[in-house]
Structure 1
Amino acid sequence: MNYLIKNEADIILDNIKVHAQLGADCFVIIDNGSTDNTRELLDSVKDQYEMIIIDRPLLDYQQSNWKTEMAKTAARQLGADWSIANDADEFWIPKDGNLKTEMKSSGSILECPRYNMLYDRSAFDQEVPYYLQTSKVQYPINYPKGIQCNQPHLSIMLGQIHGKVAVRSRGLLRVKGGNHRAWHAWGWLNKHISENISVYHYPIRSKEKFIQNIENRKALLDAGVTKMGDHYRRWVSMYQEGAIEEELNRLTVTEQNRHALFDLGVLAEDRSAKDVISKLLQERSL
């Protein structure tokens, strides 16, 4: 499993601990200039896992290049047969078996669906752990592309999001930006869509972390980075306008929107990730 991270101290160790128990044998991590204690936390566990940590404190954010580099480093130096392109806020939860169950020696690319997990606003304000949240965006709203930047009343968390990919090392050509696609020498022949693994996405975990992420994206934009999701541009703009509190109401489940979203099927109760993550974090701490 590989990660490109910056300032993920609140979640990175949870992510590593959970996926190590779900079948990830080794980890390659690029730290993109963290200024919290993310780097120190990685150092504190590097002897517990087979792990390579690369410091890359640059503001050019070459996501596709760096993700491809990590996948090839995992294959070359750690003997990884497959590479999972992950983010610190995503948990790959299998229904049966473990992460390796569908990663066959004859495969190429494994595509896994990804779902946003929404905080209850009251739980968000009380800083309840992210993995206890069970509101999943089951049927996202198909907003027209690019509309989020000029329609402030819409919710980014309710929109369509791409899945993620795991790639077999042999034949790997390139992991694409965002980790949503990959090029593989025979991907056209035996690419597979997973029926077992779902990726649970927890991008909104605390107000402090949310603002920190926005400030990081603003620094990238100020440095001339152009390849960035429209939602980040939206949040940078709202941050500069002082509209973050209103945006958090659109990104969480409030008393005003709860019944409508569940009644219409946009949101559904899903305890799968909560049960697995809670159990594995507890076992690791014993």
Structure 2
Amino acid sequence: MNYLIKNEADIILDNIKVHSQLGADCFVIIDNGSSDNTRELLDSVKDQYEMIIIDRPLLDYQQSNWKTEMARTAAKQLGADWSIANDADEFWIPKDGNLKTEMTSSGSILECPRFNMLYDRSAFDQEAAYFTQTNRVQYPINYPKGIQGQQPNLSIMLGQIHGKVAVRSRGMLRVKGGNHRAWHAWGWLNKRTSENISVYHYPIRSKEKFIQNIENRKALLDAGVTKMGDHYRRWVSMFQGGSIEEELNRLTVTDQNRNALFDLGILVEDRTAMDVISKLLHEKTL
């Protein structure tokens, strides 16, 4: 499993521990210039896991290049047969078996669906643990492409999001930006979508973390980075305009919108990730 991270001290060790017990044998991590204690936390556990940490404190954010580099590093230096392109706020939860169940010697690319998990606004304000939240986006709203910068009243978290990919090392050509796609020599032949693994995404875990992420994205934009999701550009604009608090009400489940979102089937209660993550976090690391 590989990660490109910056300032993920609140969740990165949880992520590594959970996935190590779900079948990830080794980890390759690029730290993109963390200014919190993320780097120190990684050093504190590097002897507990088979792990390579790469410091890359650059502002050019070459996501596709670096993700591809990590996959190749895992294959060459750690002997990884497959590479899972992950983010610190995503948990790959299998219904049966473990992460290796579908990653066979005859595969190439395994696409896994991804779902946003939303905080109750009251729980968000009380800084409840991210994995205790059970509001999963079941039927996302199909917002028109490019509308995020035009309509301030929509909710980014209720829109369509792409899945994530795991790639077999042999024949891998490239992991694409965002970790949503990959190129593989035999991808045309046996690429498939998993019916067992779901990726649970916890994009907002605290107001402080959210603002910190926006400030980091603003720095990237100021440095001339052009390849960035529209939602980040939206949040940078709102941050500069002083409307982030209103946006947080659109990114969480409030008393005013809860019934409508559940009645329409847009949200559904899903305790799967909560049960798995909480159980594994309280077990000893393998």
TM-score of the aligned structures, taking structure 1 as reference length: 0.99
Amino acid at match of 2:168: R
How far apart, in 2, do the equivalents of 1:228 and 1:244 lie? 19
Partner of 1:88: 88
How far apart, in 1, do the equivalents of 2:100 and 2:277 lie? 18
Amino acid at match of 2:72: K
The residue matched to 1:198 in structure 2 has which SS?
strand
How far apart, in 2, do the equivalents of 1:132 and 1:154 lie? 25
How far apart, in 2, do the equivalents of 1:158 and 1:174 lie? 29
Following superposition, the deviation at residue 284 of structure 1 comes to 2.9
Would the aligned equivalents of 2:261 and 2:267 in 1 still touch at CA under 8 Å?
A: yes
Partner of 1:257: 257
| Residue pairs, 1:46-57, within 5 angstroms | 46-57=46-57
How far apart, in 1, do the equivalents of 2:59 and 2:11 lie? 22
Amino acid at match of 2:68: T
Tell me the C-alpha RMSD between the 2 structures: 0.8
Following superposition, the deviation at residue 285 of structure 1 comes to 7.4
CA deviation vs aligned residue, 1:35-91 (integer Å, no higher than 9, x gap): 000000000000000000000000000000000000000000000000000000000
How far apart, in 1, do the equivalents of 2:63 and 2:285 lie? 33
Partner of 1:99: 99
Partner of 1:4: 4
How far apart, in 2, do the equivalents of 1:285 and 1:85 lie? 22
1:193 aligns with 2:217: no
Q: How many residues align?
A: 286
Identity across matched positions, percent: 90
Amino acid at match of 2:170: R
How far apart, in 1, do the equivalents of 2:187 and 2:65 lie? 19
The residue matched to 2:58 in structure 1 has which SS?
coil
Amino acid at match of 2:94: P
The residue matched to 1:283 in structure 2 has which SS?
coil
Q: Which runs of 4+ in 1 moved over 4 A?
A: none
Partner of 1:247: 247
CA deviation vs aligned residue, 1:97-146 (integer Å, no higher than 9, x gap): 00000000000000000000000000000000000000000000000001
Would the aligned equivalents of 2:165 and 2:181 in 1 still touch at CA under 8 Å?
A: yes
The residue matched to 1:104 in structure 2 has which SS?
coil
Amino acid at match of 1:49: Y
How far apart, in 2, do the equivalents of 1:285 and 1:29 lie? 19
| Residue pairs, 1:19-168, within 5 angstroms | 19-168=19-168
How far apart, in 2, do the equivalents of 1:216 and 1:175 lie? 23
Partner of 1:280: 280
Following superposition, the deviation at residue 188 of structure 1 comes to 0.3
Following superposition, the deviation at residue 192 of structure 1 comes to 1.1
Would the aligned equivalents of 2:17 and 2:285 in 1 still touch at CA under 8 Å?
A: no
Partner of 2:171: 171
Partner of 1:236: 236
